[in-house]
Amino acid sequence: MAAVMTDLGIGTILNQLGIEKENNGASTGGHWFNTRGEVIASVSPVDGQVIASVHSATEVDYEAVILKAQEAFLEWRKWPAPKRGEVVRQLAEKLREYKEPLGKLVSYEMGKSLQEGLGEVQEMIDICDFAVGLSRQLHGLTMHSERPGHRMYEQYHPLGIVGIISAFNFPVAVWNWNTALAWICGDVCVWKPSEKAPITAIACQQITKQVFDANGVPEGVSGLVIGGADIGKLMAEDKRVPLVSATGSTRMGKSVGAAVGERLGKSLLELGGNNAIIITPSADLKIVLPGAVFGAVGTCGQRCTSTRRLIVHDSVYDKVKDALVKAYSQLKIGNPLDQNNHVGPLIDKDAVAAYEDALNKAVAEGGTIITESGVLSGDGYESGCYVKPAMVEAKNEFKIVQHETFAPILYIMKYNGGVENAIKIQNNVPQGLSSAIMTNDLKESEIFLSAAGSDCGIANVNIGTSGAEIGGAFGGEKETGGGRESGSDAWKIYMRRQTNTINYTDSLPLAQGIKFEL
């Protein structure tokens, strides 16, 4: 592992990104506060080494960041949207410049493969590019009035402060999904990243500062507060934060949603997934195998869109199962910065314990583990965070199958009869994020995509559940939260809608023909 660390050059990367071994955990973009909260040591799951540490933010620090954000909003909202878009365009250019060191840091701090780390930074670049064009298209509608000499239209205005609570598995992309859109809409942002990946958050703040300083962006447009659930609670309950965008577990989302709803604020919740691929008799195995295997083991099963369930027609079940078991036996598990490996580590030992607990529960409910499983140890696995991806024959009604486990566990089960039976199984879970069907039958694909088909926010045909392009709105239904981020018209959540009526006559006719004489 020492050789890999030398090749990675983590010290050089930290210097490039302006990160110290000890860091403060609150910033207004132009100023770092001398925070004195609990020290958070960021430990890489790759090798168990401490990357750097952060003094977390306190309530006093949070208050200072919010006050500066309020002040910045008063100016930032007046900037023309295309001018705000130009700043975001320059941020995309700066991210291109820092793609390699930031991508490596994402991989090392979170544990995903180097290609996925670089891909996450590319997502940031892509959403910035999308937002630049959008900055000239924040359009409303014009309507015909029933009253003569009147004009009606609607327009959108910025909300104010957008609070962002992000998860460890996409430590930078999800932040930028929110900020790129919120900034061009005229909002300011305050970010509480996962305390499991705080160093990448500091890096993003340092990169953003370079661009914002060069353009005279008001201090406070990009705020950062690193801390635990206490900071998230402050944000969720804060009436000065009209929108809270939270990514994480369903349990966390319910707590945030309740707190924001209590004060009649707006929440954008991207929560748990329990994603399934339906495999029909006509499915092409050449597509099934990479789609199912990458969906299940990519990012070590720590994506909200990871494939958790395979629902396979009984006529092809044995063929599919045997091919997958063979594919699993060929997986290479190890340092994610080595591109020869397919699977890296889980984020920490708590995640490892959850993996083991889920497998034990699956067996206790009558499931059968059909691949090698367990925690890896020895040379190269010193962090204790490496596990073998497992495939389990199970039934959809098992309690553990109904629950999302953030680990590389794939439950495989049968269906018989028509595709409607498979869809019924797929939909019979509390979550509703991503779904897929593998079929060469046009009728089956159309049924899957119909109103009577998949109940998920994402429904794919002949691709897997994992991964999404920024051009489409991202999000799900049911316990996934119902929010939408990224593309399409997701920008509207970051703005308030206003209907305007203008009377350009010399009289005042009332709506619905009402007469009021004085």
For residue range 305-339, what is the model confidence (pLDDT) as tens digits?
A: 999 999 999 999 999 999 999 999 999 999 999 99
Which residues, in sequence order, are bridge partners of residue 154?
Answer: 141, 499
Angle at 407 between CA 482 and CA 174, to 5 degrees: 45
Residue 86 dihedral angles phi and psi, to the nearest 5°: -65, -40
Task: For residues 397 and 374, give the distance between their C-alpha atoms in angstroms, rounded to a whole number.
Answer: 24
**Catalytic residue, candidates 123, 219, 270, 479:** 270
Q: Mean pLDDT, to the nearest integer, of 11-19?
A: 94
Q: What is the pTM of this model?
A: 0.96
Average pLDDT over residues 16-41: 95
- Asked whether the predicted pLDDT for residue 6 surpasses 50, the reply is no
**Which runs of consecutive H residues, i.e. helices, occur in 341-387?**
349-364
* Alpha carbon separation from 498 to 44, 111, 120 (Å, rounded): 47, 45, 35
Would you say residue 221 has pLDDT above 90?
yes
Q: Residue 443 and residue 435: Cα distance in Å, rounded? A: 17
Helical spans, DSSP H, in 188-284: 198-215, 229-237, 250-262
CA-CA-CA-CA dihedral for 371, 359, 166, 272, to nearest 10? 100
CA distance 503 to 284: 63
d(C-alpha 481, C-alpha 371), whole Å? 33
Per the residue annotation, which of 185, 304, 385, 456 is the catalytic one? 304
Q: Using the structure block, give the residue that is written with the tokens 């929108």.
A: 243
Is the pLDDT at 5 greater than 50, yes or no? no
State how far the Cα of 240 lies from the Cα of 72, in Å rounded to an integer.
13
pLDDT digits (tens, 9 = 90+) for 106-115: 999 999 999 9
Alpha-carbon distance values, 378 to 116, 328, 346, 408 (Å) = 25, 21, 16, 20
H/E stretch holding 178 reads helix 173-185
Is residue 148 classed exposed, middle or buried when 0-12, 13-18 and 19+ CB atoms within 10 A define those classes? exposed
Is-contact 307 464, C-beta < 8 A?
A: yes
Query: Residue 52: in which H helix or E strand, if any?
Result: strand 50-55
Please confirm, yes or no, whether 372 is among the known catalytic residues: no
Question: Which position has the token pair 């367990």?
Answer: 374
6 or 178: whose pLDDT is higher?
178
Q: What is the 3-state secondary structure (H, E, C) of 67-132?
A: HHHHHHHHHHCCCCHHHHHHHHHHHHHHHHHCHHHHHHHHHHHHCCCHHHHHHHHHHHHHHHHHHH
Pairing relation of β-strands 150-158 and 495-503? antiparallel
Amino acid in position 92: A
| Residues 478, 482, 488: CA angle, nearest 5 degrees | 140
Residue 513's pLDDT is what?
A: 87
Mean pLDDT of 431-436: 98
Q: Per-residue pLDDT tens for 127-153?
A: 999 999 999 999 999 999 999 999 999
pLDDT band at 4 (very low <50, low <70, confident <90, very high): very low
Q: Which residues contact 243 (CB under 8 A, 6 or more apart)?
A: 159, 161, 162, 163, 187, 265, 266, 267, 268, 493, 494
Confidence of residue 424 (pLDDT cuts 50, 70, 90): very high
DSSP class of residue 484?
-
Q: What percent of the chain has pLDDT over 70?
A: 98
Mean pLDDT for the chain?
96
Active site residue 304: yes
Mean pLDDT of 500-505: 97
267: left (phi over 0), alpha (psi -120 to 50) or beta: beta
d(CA 191, CA 189): 6
What integer pLDDT is reported at residue 2 of this predicted model? 36
Q: Specify the pLDDT at position 71.
A: 98
Q: In sequence order, which ranges of 330-418 are alpha helices (DSSP H)?
A: 349-364, 399-402
Write down the pLDDT at residue 461: 98
| Separation CA 98–CA 412 (nearest Å) | 41
Tokens at 90, concatenated? 């320059």
- State the Cα angle at 114 between 101 and 108, rounded to 5°: 65
Q: Where does the pLDDT of residue 8 fall: very low under 50, low under 70, confident under 90, or very high at 90 and above?
A: low
Alpha-helical segments (H) within 284-396: 285-297, 317-329, 349-364
Q: How confident is the model at residue 31 (pLDDT cuts 50, 70, 90)?
A: very high
Lowest mean pLDDT among 8-12, 73-77, 311-315, 395-399: 8-12
Mean pLDDT value across residues 218-240? 98
Residue 377, Cβ neighbours under 10 Å: how many? 10
Query: What does the alpha-carbon distance between residue 212 and residue 206 come to, in Å, rounded to a whole number?
Result: 10
